[in-house]
Amino acid sequence: MAPRISNRIASFVDALPLAPGQRVLEIGCGPGVAARAVSRRVGNGFVLAIDRSAKAIESAVAGSRAEIATGRLRFLQAAIEDFELPPNEEPFDIAFAIRVGALDGRHPDIEQRALERLRAALKPTGRLFIDTGHPLREIKLIRR
């Protein structure tokens, strides 16, 4: 049985500008609660959820077998500052992160690298949202 979604995560997911068919990247997915909720919202879209912790990915996969079986949700162990689009993976429409130190100011030493990796993983019109607002904040990615 998948863990129940907290009010904080539910509010964040509700505030994301999600639409059917979108490709979404979650950074720091933990046990996959938000990834599953987003996957339901984007219908025939796709969610790739990453986390630097092997244990988190193991837990997310274990709680998401039904969603993974549809081919519309996948988990990958990766740190955002090292992330590269997997081979044959299309760029994403939206990326989001809930309590991720590399993006919320707690680890400024890796934040710039993380943002560069995100720019490369998102479509030119792609958008990034983090949870330091009420309930979220968009980070504008400067395109070079």
Mean pLDDT, range 99-126, rounded to an integer:
91
Which residue in 46, 30, 52, 62 sits closest to 95, CA to CA? 46
Flag whether pLDDT at 128 surpasses 90.
Answer: yes
Instruction: Give the mean model confidence (pLDDT) for residues 41-64.
Output: 97
Q: Is residue 143 very low, low, confident or very high in pLDDT (cuts 50, 70, 90)?
A: low
| 7-36 pLDDT tens trace | 889 999 999 999 999 999 999 999 999 999
Instruction: Give the CATH number, domain containing residue 71.
Output: 3.40.50.150
Whole domain around residue 61: which residue ranges?
15-139
Q: Is residue 7 part of a domain?
A: no
Is residue 10 in a domain?
Answer: no
- Specify if 144 maps to a domain: no
46 CB contacts (<8 Å, ≥6 apart)? 23, 24, 72, 73, 74
What single string gives the DSSP state of each residue in 40-83? HHTTTSEEEEEES-HHHHHHHHHT-HHHHHTTSEEEEE--GGG-
Q: Is residue 107 part of a domain?
A: yes
Distance, C-alpha 66 to centroid of its chain: 19
1 part of a folded domain:
no
In a domain? residue 42: yes
| Domains of the chain: total | 1
Q: How confident is the model at residue 3 (pLDDT cuts 50, 70, 90)?
A: low
Mean pLDDT, residues 75-100 taken together: 94
